[in-house]
Amino acid sequence: MAVEKIETVGSGARSGNSITRIWMCALDDGPALWGEFVHNQQYDDGYFNRDRSSLTLGACFATASMVFTESPTTGSSGGSSHEDGDTEYNFNTATMEKPLEAHPDYLTYWNHVLLSDDASRPIPDFYYTATNLVIPSSEFKYQWARPEDPVPDGMVVLAGQKNNFRGVESWLYPAPVLSVTKYYRSRNQAAEQLQAVGMLQSPPWSGPYQSAAKYWLVTNSTVNKSGNYWICTTSYTYADMGWNEDLYSDGSEEETE
């Protein structure tokens, strides 16, 4: 539960790249107020700097002078630039390959030829508008085939595939990847995050994208030791139409902090 605090005169003062917030609260609530803020974690005013902040316990009230900076500091208690639970976010505007058939403007003749039992037949109208391999019931004298497939006996290629799609089997589709890096004192806590790979899971922050789990697939997760911390980096790949929930399980309940 948040500590009830009163902002005092001088609060919000800016100096260079930092802002100082000054609060007063009940004496007994002082340590709790201090504990609400994590060193180098980003808040509305910026990154909290514990080294430059202070908590003064008076006769009746506690006064907290809390400093926030534009970017994380390189030093903190214990001489480390991180604390347990620190989280960093990075976006990579990656792409994924999708089959031509998944393109919203797909036409069958992009990657198929039209066969007929008679080379003198006219090219039917459906050749130019078809989006699947279904032949209209009145046109059974035609058949779709892949260009590399052998032509069945008694059939000929009546119309070829669209010229500028020869050799093209797929297309690149935007697939932003969010990498979330979190620092742990506990090796076991860090390793638990590896269980989310292959599952749908809402990231702690989704930037400008949809936040629901169905849009995010955990595609990679690594854990390594650096100094006093175990560092877990988890990659979430975004699909703007959502991932197939019949193929991927919802891992929201498995997410651990």
Q: Is residue 254 over pLDDT 60?
A: no
Average pLDDT over residues 144-158: 93
Q: What confidence category does residue 228 fall into, taking pLDDT thresholds of 50, 70 and 90?
A: confident
Query: Per DSSP, what are the bridge partners of residue 218?
Result: 236
Residue 227's Cβ-count burial label (10 Å; 0-12, 13-18, 19+) is exposed
pLDDT, tens only, 12-58: 998 888 999 999 999 888 888 888 898 888 899 999 998 889 989 88
Query: Per DSSP, what are the bridge partners of residue 24?
Result: 6, 63
Cα–Cα distance list, 97 to 78, 170, 175 (Å): 46, 6, 9
Average pLDDT over residues 199-217: 93
pLDDT of residue 78: 37
On the CB side of 131, CA atoms within 13 Å amount to: 6
pLDDT of residue 257: 40
% residues pLDDT > 70 (the chain): 93
Look at residue 176 and give its three-state secondary structure: coil
The strand order across the sheet containing 113-116 reads: 142-145, 113-116, 156-159
Give 6-14's long-range contacts (Cβ < 8 A, gap of 24+): 8/63
The span from the CA of 37 to the CA of 138, in Å, is 73
Average pLDDT over residues 241-250: 92
Question: How, if at all, do strands 13-15 and 18-26 pair?
Answer: antiparallel
| Residue at 101: amino acid letter | E
% residues pLDDT > 90 (the chain): 51
Mean residue pLDDT across the chain: 87
Q: What confidence category does residue 153 fall into, taking pLDDT thresholds of 50, 70 and 90?
A: very high
pLDDT of residue 149: 92
Place of tokens 């669209």: 162
